[in-house]
Structure 1
Amino acid sequence: MTRLSDEGGDQRGRHRPSVPVHGCITSMDITSGDADARHIAIDGTRAATLLEADVVRLNLGLDTPLSPDLAERIAYHHEYRLAWRATLKRLERSSRSQQDVLDHLLERGHEQEVAEQVITTLVSNGLLDDARFAASAAESIARRTPGSASYIESRLLRHGIQPAQARDAARDAAGDPVEIATEIARKALRSLHTCTPETQVRRLHGRLARRGFELDVIEAALRRLELDLPE
Structure 2
Amino acid sequence: MVRFSDSGGESDVPSDVGLAPVIPLFAPSASRAAAPATADVPAVRPAARWNTTWDDDPVEGGNDGPRGAFDTEDGDDAGQDGIERDIAEKNLLKRLRSRSLSVKEARAVVAERDLDDDAVDAVLTDFLGRGYLNDAALAEQLIHAGVDRKGQGRQVIAQTLAKRGIPRDVADAALAALPDDDVERALEYARGKARSLRDLDREVAVRRLTGQLARRGYPGSVALTAARQALGEGDSGGAGVRFR
Fold conserved between structures, TM > 0.5: yes
Q: Which has the greater radius of gyration?
A: 2
Amino acid at match of 2:139: A
Q: Which runs of 4+ in 1 moved over 3 A?
A: 64-71, 170-175
1:91 corresponds to 2:96: yes
Equivalent in the alignment of 2:137: 132
What root-mean-square deviation, in Å, do the aligned CA atoms of Structure 1 and Structure 2 show?
A: 2.8
Determine the C-alpha separation between the residues in 2 that align with 1:152 and 1:117: 31
Secondary structure in 2 aligned to 1:195? Answer: coil
Determine the C-alpha separation between the residues in 1 that align with 2:140 and 2:166: 10
1:76 corresponds to 2:81: yes
Q: Matched residue pairs, number?
A: 167
Instruction: Using the TM superposition, give the Cα deviation of residue 66 of structure 1 relative to its aligned residue in structure 2, in angstroms.
Output: 4.8
Structure 2 unaligned segments of length 5 or more: list them: 1-52, 54-68, 234-244
Contact 1:205 1:218 in 2 (8 A): yes
Equivalent in the alignment of 2:168: 163
Determine the C-alpha separation between the residues in 2 that align with 1:130 and 1:112: 23
Determine the C-alpha separation between the residues in 1 that align with 2:154 and 2:116: 33
Instruction: Using the TM superposition, give the Cα deviation of residue 76 of structure 1 relative to its aligned residue in structure 2, in angstroms.
Output: 1.5
Deviations 1:71-111 (CA, angstroms, capped at 9, x unpaired): 433222221111112212221222211111122233x4443
Equivalent in the alignment of 1:203: 208
Larger strand proportion of the pair: 1
Of stretches 160-169 and 130-139 in structure 1, the one that deviates more from structure 2 is 160-169
Secondary structure in 1 aligned to 2:232? Answer: coil
Aligned counterpart for 2:193 among listed residues 188, 196, 210: 188
Aligned counterpart for 1:111 among listed residues 108, 115, 120: 115
Identity of aligned residues (%): 28
Instruction: Using the TM superposition, give the Cα deviation of residue 167 of structure 1 relative to its aligned residue in structure 2, in angstroms.
Output: 3.0
Instruction: Using the TM superposition, give the Cα deviation of residue 197 of structure 1 relative to its aligned residue in structure 2, in angstroms.
Output: 0.9
Contact 1:181 1:213 in 2 (8 A): yes
Structure 1 unaligned segments of length 5 or more: list them: 1-21, 23-63
Secondary structure in 1 aligned to 2:128? Answer: helix
Aligned counterpart for 2:217 among listed residues 212, 228, 231: 212
Higher relative contact order (CA 8 A, sep 6+): 1
1:146 corresponds to 2:151: yes
